[in-house]
Amino acid sequence: MTVFDVTDRSRDLRQRLLAFMDEHIYPNDAEAARQVNEGDRWQHLPLIDELKPKAREAGLWNLFLPPASDPDGTFGPGLSNLEYAPLCEIMGQVWWAPEVFNCAAPDTGNMEVLARYGTPEQQEQWLFPLLNGEIRSAFSMTEPDVASSDATNIESSIRRDGEDYVINGEKWWTSGAGDPRCAVSIFMGKTDPNAERHLQQSMILIPMDAPGVTRERMLTVFGYDDAPHGHAQMTFKDVRVPASALLLGEGRGFEIAQGRLGPGRIHHCMRLIGQAERALELMVARASSRVAFGKPLSAHQHVRELIAQSRMEIDQARLLTMNAAHMMDTVGNKEARGQIAAIKVVAPNMALAVIDRAIQVFGGAGVSQDTPLAMMYAQARTLRLADGPDIVHIGTVAKEELRRQGEAARGRDNVFSPSS
Amino acid sequence: MTVFDVTDRSRDLRQRLLAFMDEHIYPNDAEAARQVNEGDRWQHLPLIDELKPKAREAGLWNLFLPPASDPDGTFGPGLSNLEYAPLCEIMGQVWWAPEVFNCAAPDTGNMEVLARYGTPEQQEQWLFPLLNGEIRSAFSMTEPDVASSDATNIESSIRRDGEDYVINGEKWWTSGAGDPRCAVSIFMGKTDPNAERHLQQSMILIPMDAPGVTRERMLTVFGYDDAPHGHAQMTFKDVRVPASALLLGEGRGFEIAQGRLGPGRIHHCMRLIGQAERALELMVARASSRVAFGKPLSAHQHVRELIAQSRMEIDQARLLTMNAAHMMDTVGNKEARGQIAAIKVVAPNMALAVIDRAIQVFGGAGVSQDTPLAMMYAQARTLRLADGPDIVHIGTVAKEELRRQGEAARGRDNVFSPSS
Amino acid sequence: MTVFDVTDRSRDLRQRLLAFMDEHIYPNDAEAARQVNEGDRWQHLPLIDELKPKAREAGLWNLFLPPASDPDGTFGPGLSNLEYAPLCEIMGQVWWAPEVFNCAAPDTGNMEVLARYGTPEQQEQWLFPLLNGEIRSAFSMTEPDVASSDATNIESSIRRDGEDYVINGEKWWTSGAGDPRCAVSIFMGKTDPNAERHLQQSMILIPMDAPGVTRERMLTVFGYDDAPHGHAQMTFKDVRVPASALLLGEGRGFEIAQGRLGPGRIHHCMRLIGQAERALELMVARASSRVAFGKPLSAHQHVRELIAQSRMEIDQARLLTMNAAHMMDTVGNKEARGQIAAIKVVAPNMALAVIDRAIQVFGGAGVSQDTPLAMMYAQARTLRLADGPDIVHIGTVAKEELRRQGEAARGRDNVFSPSS
Amino acid sequence: MTVFDVTDRSRDLRQRLLAFMDEHIYPNDAEAARQVNEGDRWQHLPLIDELKPKAREAGLWNLFLPPASDPDGTFGPGLSNLEYAPLCEIMGQVWWAPEVFNCAAPDTGNMEVLARYGTPEQQEQWLFPLLNGEIRSAFSMTEPDVASSDATNIESSIRRDGEDYVINGEKWWTSGAGDPRCAVSIFMGKTDPNAERHLQQSMILIPMDAPGVTRERMLTVFGYDDAPHGHAQMTFKDVRVPASALLLGEGRGFEIAQGRLGPGRIHHCMRLIGQAERALELMVARASSRVAFGKPLSAHQHVRELIAQSRMEIDQARLLTMNAAHMMDTVGNKEARGQIAAIKVVAPNMALAVIDRAIQVFGGAGVSQDTPLAMMYAQARTLRLADGPDIVHIGTVAKEELRRQGEAARGRDNVFSPSS
């Protein structure tokens, strides 16, 4: 619908994906909820297992995987970020949908890390099962005892001991650790607390069943446990893994984090736009069918303002996201860091505003289990915190702007000369 | 601290209440959570039963009850709205505290209805046990199938049949119905669908154990079930109660609703101010103790802005609430309807903004079970919907302003005469 | 910089235009102010006359003129809306610059009307002198006595009398009427007050020196008179013009208005984005050079937030504008009416927010004649009113969204099915 | 109307003031505009001279003067801040009204400084003529070359030379310097650049006709020159005054500034509330009389929201202002500094929001000379900068909150203990 809809194959995949969603996802939304709510909440959904082969057969598999990470197109279509954006948005509209297409966080980010930085052995052990959707994974970075907005605060230790590394630390918001298929976590900690500030950290692969790994408790988000995925607080006590489990090299944790977070952030934003779009769709449907004071809600000027405001905000955020994706594709993640930071601020705040309006139009149903809105709100709210709070990304945008204008140096001649 | 702190006894009660909170409520906050989370969530909290006699003994009982409803001071101190405001705010800071002082919704509103409009028999049966804290009660007004913003939409029927009334209808958001001690509900429905629009409705007392009363399911608010209080969806099928259970008279439902909602609304607002004040207190404590980028969060200009903005918004909302309470005390609920409507809009939105900032300062802990913030947010969010969505109250404020200015008629002379 | 930078010639023109601005416009900004402020404010600026031939020679002339209105490329390069957008933005950064390139409002809209709907005689008389920059023009639509948000309110009359039309009415906000070269105005009035609501209006060409045309007074915008351009209140008393002066036909005024307003609106938005971009540039320059509390303003977190917020808002509004331009180019103004309405709301509000932040960073200088900010603010503020107030366009966005979702009819299956 | 309407004499003065406004001020609003706009703009308005004796006779004179500064009630009624608030608000509704009652800034602040800190000679020479409304005065603090948000930046020098002080420096925003009756300015500069940071500054009285005092130019605010009052940029070159012109003592400039700014700030806020109240009055009048789309603007839900939002914001800001006044009266300006800072942020932002809505309802008339709205907006906008930009006061509010909570030290027991 926008100038960004560039390639034919992206358009084609979009049509196929929409058809799949209509055939297999939306009609099963209530069934998914039923499967979570009945019995043990921490079981894999049989529904997802049924649908995965269908999705793969339809060519809707590993859509996130960039061509550089899969040059032969073995595992997926090898889409650019810009091509993936409209697809990610659609999958993001339903909480359990991305996994059906093997496009769920945090696996996507982890797979990309493994594809870019993993050794052949690491890839054999963890990447291929992930790409085939056989196992799931987690990412252990944030710690309860220090401010996560400043990643240098991380205190966990990864200590070399002979042929092994020994890991100690407490992590939380290890998302996905609730899933019984979660087999491995990428763990960030300090290999050298005395090194230069950004070279103290490393990343290492830890099997979830390694001795010393304990899932202490599951965290709630607003009232939700987000089962069966979940967010765990974990203790790592004298966990021992072979030295070959280290990713890329000692002191390169920040480097990997930067590479991982770019795509991860923009994928979150794409899903948020999908969430907002769905919230607007629900809002319009409700407004069209409910009557108050003698006319449908959609005929009340106030409700029309809520609808219009939402449309304007969604479209702006979507274009900003697509532009960021385009920048990543053309000038690279590093050069696009300002654009990535911007969308990481804009998308969650936009989604929260739109979902909140939808809740208001729905009334009591909006905060209850009768709509997906409250859960969508809770998830979107965490994305103003996850991967860094808004203010950190705002700082990045400001820094880039100051740098850019400093470089531009169009000179004082262009700046206003006051009349006297 | 403000000019509104007028009477000595209010000041004295405030000191005693703060002491009680410090001694009995805050230290037991974790225990309250434990009692809810262990075993059957829908049991009355033993902790509350232990503390009630202590509160009554301390003279901190039925503080909400206005003197007109208890002229002899049999059941409580008989405070004005303005005197009650600072006390209600303090109790509102902890979710389970108001019940300890027999000041919890919806009982307070129900007791006031019974005190003002109840027959001696109705009072004997329901009011006195409520005032003694022996039973609890519910209020059944909103219906799932119609827009609750327009109360004339209500479709439940209360049909006279001989010496009885027969009730049919579906209600939801019957808050408090989850508590096993909930013994009675005030129910709103139509006795005469053909009467003038505002005379179709009546209110009637229905025992919760009457045949035909079914608690279909409990609703969630964001992910919370708010156990053991809870919010029920209820079916009333051919429920039969004696004609003497009708309140005030046929067709007088709206009249009672207006009388009930004024104090109920302002009490909610007082509690919200307490919640916001507590959120700010937590925010400041966190900001003072966490370090990021080399200094405490409280030394970051951004965080200071969050703190200052919160302080300015809380103080304004509190003064507006106290002024509304003062108006209710002096010119009456009806004349103060503009002020009540205003605070019903201002307080929840203010509280949401403050709590949201606190969540942001806490990071992941803010959305989890490790702080009360997410639950506070969820509750405050419902108060932009409960007792009418914002837009309905905004309409009331506008209507009052248009009326007032029409009456004022200071005349065209005072209005701007343009220079030419 | 974005994916929208599509054609080579647009890129090339952008480079040439930037060079021209650097060489001829910015260095003369103070001189332009001097020429306005000295002597009679209502004289054409000699500076502009000097620069016009240079601009034309540089191929920077009539850049706004769409290819359909100039198929042979006689008068300009024939750019698409999308190609014109980045150029219009740059010209819009300085209040007197657009006229240098013959791209100033309201001439651009008037020229397009004449090109699309004018007879050969009308074009000979008015269009060609306008395209050559020899005369200027005005647009007389809004009336002081009726709400302009509802264009059907217009009360002026255009009455047929033999071979002539006789015009009566009072108009205001006839922008450009202060310029002594303003030779003609397009006038909207009713030819048939009894026709169907949207067929009562017609447009007619009235020479500014016709008997009965009186410029009653000049209006101020905030304190500015916007000389020498200006905004006039005009009386038209028994003004007689030949019947051939009518545009397109009786009753087709609304049809022309719709055609005229699309490009006019988006051009305003492009200029606003230029204004906002310049305000941000000034803000950054000031923040980098001023010191408070021991460090440059740009090192204060609060100021960095102002900068980042501005960057994020500008980029979103620019992308939305470019997308609207792209839609106009590809599906036509009518189909793009939702996108045009959206940007007409978004751009002025964004520009006001950005300029306001720049004022705050500048302090007293920001509201004074020492920066262009206050004047930019005043102009941007009028664009929340001109061509319809925000709420009218918000209504259009809502209407389009409701229509679109109604058509989409993805069906109830896709909408949330609640879990029970 | 609020609980703050405490004393009878304040109520009585309010009635008399309203009557005076209705009889003498509103009917002359157009005449005042005429007198400014005709001939030399920098002349005292004859209208004001006519009305001053009437106001004094009516006992409406020097209402701002606190009892401590006039213990015998020689010059005015000696009102508390709380008593003055509702009067200041009313006078503030019309730009030229405060001077009629000898309550105009910056005279009020200057008179208070002279009353509190002046020697008998200084009072004889300057205070009494000011109290009698015979002369006017200015305040020279802000400098064009340094950030005024940080008052320690001030660079002007006040150098002792024998029996004299010699003053050098450049000041701007010396408001009131345009009035030909402006006889004296209180000037802030450094007596000792090497002293401790807050002891470098002093204040001194400089006659406006002293040799070396030059009014370089008048500044505009948005497009307004604010004649005949005006805002001057001034050069002080080797200006020599006797040592007795120094206020209070060397190095005590900050001390005086603090004492002066408290009341000055709150008076500005009271006037802003008056401005906002008048803007709302105009908005309601317009909304009631204009028709669009078949009904009065006041029947459009959007306009009703604008009205209601304005009412809610005004009432909150007024209560906050009155509470700050009450605090100043009871605990003193120093203890009330948090409250003063808060209202200095809240009132201008509130007024801007309300006035902006009124402009939007008026359409083109709102930005023009046909309503006072645009001028009110421009003035209110400066008050987000004057006496310190918002962010400085926000910092004060945060600092006070952090201090207060630190002192409160209710201890960790009251803070949330997480459930696990």
Q: Which residue of A has its CA nearest to C394?
A: A308
Cα distances (angstroms) measured from residue C165 to each of C110, C117, C246 = 20, 19, 8
Which of A119, A20, A220, D129 lies closest to B375, judged by CA?
A: A220
pLDDT at C410: 44
Rounded Cα distance between B65 and B267, Å, is 11
For the cut 70, the answer to whether the pLDDT of residue B413 exceeds it is no
β-bridge mates for residue B242, sequence order: B164
Neighbours of chain B (3+ CB pairs under 8 A): A, C, D
CA angle D313, D316, D321 (to 5 degrees): 120
Check: CB of residue C339 under 8 Å from CB of residue C323: yes
Q: Which residue of A has its CA nearest to B219?
A: A368
Which residues of A fall within a CB distance of 8 Å from B378? 222-223, 367, 374
Q: Please give the CATH number for the structural domain made up of D8-118.
A: 1.10.540.10
| Residue among C147, C223, C293 minimizing CB distance to D378 | C223
Structure tokens belonging to residue D116:
């509190």
pLDDT at B257: 86
Which of D188, D24, D36 lies closest to D100, judged by CA?
A: D24
pLDDT at A7: 83
| Residue among C323, C395, C416 minimizing CB distance to A304 | C395
pLDDT at B417: 43
Least confident stretch, A381-390, B40-49, B77-86, B144-153: B144-153
Q: What share of chain A is helix, strand, coil (3-state, %, to 5)?
A: 55, 15, 30
Rounded Cα distance between C310 and B124, Å, is 65
Residue with more model confidence, A388 or A6: A388
For the cut 70, the answer to whether the pLDDT of residue A407 exceeds it is no
Q: Confidence class of residue B3 from pLDDT cuts 50, 70 and 90? A: low
Which residues of C fall within a CB distance of 8 Å from B305? 302
pLDDT at C150: 82
| Residue among C284, C338, C416 minimizing CB distance to A371 | C416
Structure tokens belonging to residue C393:
């366009």
Which of D262, D411, D278, D284 lies closest to D338, judged by CA?
A: D262
Which residues of C fall within a CB distance of 8 Å from B300? 301
Cα distances (angstroms) measured from residue D405 to each of A228, A244, D399 = 41, 51, 10
Which residues of D fall within a CB distance of 8 Å from C223? 220-225, 374-375, 378
CA angle A367, A373, A376 (to 5 degrees): 120
Mean pLDDT for the stretch of residues B377-396: 96
Mean pLDDT for the stretch of residues B360-366: 97
pLDDT at B416: 47
pLDDT at C158: 98
**At which residue do the structure tokens 């998914």 appear?**
A32
Rounded Cα distance between B314 and B273, Å, is 7
pLDDT at B258: 80
**At which residue do the structure tokens 């004040």 appear?**
B277
Superfamily of domain B254-407 in CATH is Butyryl-CoA Dehydrogenase, subunit A, domain 3 (1.20.140.10)
The domain at A137-247 falls in which architecture? Beta Barrel (2.40)
pLDDT at A321: 96
pLDDT at A60: 98
Strands B164-175 and B231-242: antiparallel
pLDDT at A416: 47
Q: Hey, CA dihedral for C193, C197, C200, C201, is it positive or negative?
A: positive
Rounded Cα distance between D27 and B97, Å, is 58
Helix (H) and strand (E) counts in chain C: 14, 9
Structure tokens belonging to residue C407:
């058509």
Cα distances (angstroms) measured from residue B358 to each of A218, B291, D409 = 22, 16, 19
Centre a 10 Å sphere on the Cβ of residue B383 and count the other Cβ atoms it contains: 21
Residue with more model confidence, A213 or B2: A213
Q: Are C420 and B305 a contacting pair at CB < 8 A?
A: no
For the cut 80, the answer to whether the pLDDT of residue A213 exceeds it is yes
pLDDT at C127: 97
ipTM associated with this complex: 0.95
* pLDDT tens figures, D333-365: 889 999 999 999 999 999 999 999 999 999 999
Neighbours of chain D (3+ CB pairs under 8 A): A, B, C
Smallest CA–CA separation between B145 and chain D, in Å? 25
- Residues 6 or more apart whose Cβ sits within 8 Å of residue B239: B166, B167, B168, B206, B210, B211, B212, B213
Which residues of B fall within a CB distance of 8 Å from C305? 302
Q: Are D223 and C374 a contacting pair at CB < 8 A?
A: yes
Least confident stretch, A376-390, C361-375, C399-413, D256-270: C399-413
Rounded Cα distance between B170 and B143, Å, is 6
Between C and D, how many residue pairs show a Cβ–Cβ distance under 8 A? 133
Smallest CA–CA separation between C284 and chain B, in Å? 19
Which residues of D fall within a CB distance of 8 Å from C141? none
Question: What are the extents of the domains in chain A?
Answer: 8-104, 137-247, 254-406
Smallest CA–CA separation between C23 and chain B, in Å? 41
Mean pLDDT for the stretch of residues B97-117: 95
Q: Confidence class of residue B227 from pLDDT cuts 50, 70 and 90? A: very high
Q: Confidence class of residue D415 from pLDDT cuts 50, 70 and 90? A: very low
| Residue among B217, B300, B420 minimizing CB distance to C217 | B420
Q: Confidence class of residue D29 from pLDDT cuts 50, 70 and 90? A: very high
The pTM is what? 0.96
Q: Are D364 and C147 a contacting pair at CB < 8 A?
A: no
Rounded Cα distance between A411 and A391, Å, is 30
* pLDDT tens figures, B236-246: 999 999 999 99
The enclosing H or E element of D205 equals: strand D201-207
For the cut 80, the answer to whether the pLDDT of residue A102 exceeds it is yes
Q: Supply the mean pLDDT for chain A.
A: 93
pLDDT at A406: 87
Q: Confidence class of residue A47 from pLDDT cuts 50, 70 and 90? A: very high
Mean pLDDT for the stretch of residues A275-285: 97
- Length reported for chain A: 420
Superfamily of domain D254-408 in CATH is Butyryl-CoA Dehydrogenase, subunit A, domain 3 (1.20.140.10)
- DSSP code, position A248: S
For the cut 70, the answer to whether the pLDDT of residue B419 exceeds it is no
Q: Are B173 and A391 a contacting pair at CB < 8 A?
A: no
Q: Which residue of A has its CA nearest to C316?
A: A316
Rounded Cα distance between B137 and B212, Å, is 18
Q: Which candidate in D235, D302, D307, D309 is best for mutational testing of the A interface (most A CBs within 10 A)? A: D302
Residue with more model confidence, C6 or B139: B139
**Amino acid, single-letter form, for residue C84:** Y
Centre a 10 Å sphere on the Cβ of residue D181 and count the other Cβ atoms it contains: 15
Q: Confidence class of residue B5 from pLDDT cuts 50, 70 and 90? A: low
Per-residue pLDDT of chain C (420 residues; tens, 9 = 90+): 455 656 889 889 999 999 999 999 999 999 999 999 888 999 999 999 999 999 999 999 999 999 989 999 999 999 999 999 999 999 999 999 999 999 999 999 999 999 999 999 999 999 999 999 999 999 999 999 998 778 788 999 999 999 999 999 999 999 999 999 999 999 999 999 999 998 999 999 999 999 999 999 999 999 999 999 999 999 999 999 999 999 999 999 999 988 777 788 899 999 999 999 999 999 999 999 999 999 999 999 999 999 999 999 999 999 999 999 999 999 998 899 999 999 999 999 999 999 999 999 999 999 999 999 999 999 999 999 998 999 999 999 999 999 998 866 544 344 444 443
Residue D44, classed as helix, strand or coil, is coil
Residue B118, classed as helix, strand or coil, is coil
CATH topology of domain C254-406: Butyryl-CoA Dehydrogenase, subunit A; domain 3 (1.20.140)
> What's the number of CA atoms in the CB half-sphere (13 Å) around residue B187?
34
The domain at A8-104 falls in which architecture? Orthogonal Bundle (1.10)
Q: Which residue of A has its CA nearest to C370?
A: A418
